[in-house]
Amino acid sequence: MAVADVSVRLGKLKLQNPVMVASGTFGYGQEYHRLYDVNQLGAVVTKSISLKPRPGNPAPRIYETPSGMLNSIGLQNVGLKAFIREKLPFLRKLKGPKVIVNLAGESVGEYAELVAALEGHREIDGLELNISCPNCERGGIEFGVDPKLTEKLIRRVRQATRKFLIAKLSPNVTSIAEIARAASGAGADGLSLINTLLGLAVDSESWKPRIATITGGLSGPAIKPVALRMVWQVHRALPRVPLIGIGGIFTAEDAVEFFLCGASAVQVGTANYVNPKAPLEILQGLKGYLKERRLRSPEELLGKIKAPAVLRGVPQAVAG
């Protein structure tokens, strides 16, 4: 049997394969190109870009936890101007992967300004809004935990761009479907989920928190079941909206689990730190998985989780 066609469609965005890399774990793409040909990826997602350069949070800002890592990098990045001048030329030369620029703002106006500045750059295929950022106009509440703020932000940004617009959802909410509905209703073309889960680690000897900002974002295998649950919930609520699954994806089987729960593509994050070639190995493994099962495309897995009939009408199975 012929090799499966691994290209996938996210609405109007066609990817050569469904394996993307997650923002903040892959620099600006160039760094990893020294290790392998990043042209093989489905898409490169940049570190979050802000209007002004950001030095990030004080150290220590990373701590390894069982099956995961806690980070509080603080959105360190070169800022919009240097991004355009120094980082975009490399991304422009890529052949194959879509280029997605992840954006972080402190106000609706700041996001709109970022989007407007990038609109004319044709090498950028899509924008991913990191909405897990504090809104400084509203006492620092994160955009992505409030459906009204989410809606307002996406609506404003939608007016400023014709590029493929992805809202990256925060898992630190009670109802992920409610936020997803707000983002999609306001004009997002796709949703990526999840960002990191808020966590804390403390040293029982020194009684000090393990990272300088006390709390940080948890990522890695520890969060995969939460991410799968959220992808599944959002896919059930909005079956037509393209979803990108993120959270603890280290192997092809992990990626398959996300497709089964309703994701059309995946992003690989923390795994890049453990094995820089993880995205390529996941892609190879996925091809093997499809071939062994005589499946022609990853799209044949989309949302195919076999939920028992008795649970189908139940909005959420509760533990215990």
Ligand X SMILES: Cc1cc2nc3c(=O)[nH]c(=O)nc-3n(C[C@H](O)[C@H](O)[C@H](O)COP(=O)(O)O)c2cc1C
Residues forming contacts to ligand X in the complex (CB under 6 A) are 22-25, 47-48, 69, 71, 73, 75, 102, 130, 168, 195-196, 219-220, 223, 246-249, 268-270
CB of 210 to ligand X, least distance (A): 14
From CA 212, how far away is CA 61, in angstroms rounded? 6
Smallest distance from ligand X to CB 246, Å: 5
Distance, CA of 23 to CA of 37 (rounded, Å): 18
Closest residue to ligand X: CB criterion:
24
CB of 270 to ligand X, least distance (A): 3
Supply φ then ψ for residue 199, to 5 degrees.
-145, 180
Contact (Cβ atoms closer than 8 angstroms) between residue 135 and residue 144: no
What do you get for the CA distance between the two ends of the chain, in Å? Answer: 45
**Diameter over CA atoms, the chain:** 60
Select which of 38, 80, 124, 133 is catalytic. Answer: 133
In the complex, the smallest distance separating the C-beta of residue 89 from ligand X, rounded to whole angstroms, is 21
Comparing CB distances to ligand X, the nearer of 23 and 184 is 23
The string over 34-69, giving b where at least 16 C-beta atoms fall within 10 Å of a residue's C-beta and e elsewhere, is: eeeebeebbbbbbbbbbbeebeebeeebebebeebb
For ligand X, which is the closer residue by CB, 90 or 307?
Answer: 90
Question: Measured from the CB atom, is 4 or 161 closer to ligand X?
Answer: 161
Fill in the amino acid letter for 228.
Answer: L
CA distance 167 to 185: 11
| Residue with smaller CB distance to ligand X, 4 or 88 | 88
Residue 261: active-site member: no
Q: Which residues are marked as active site?
A: 133
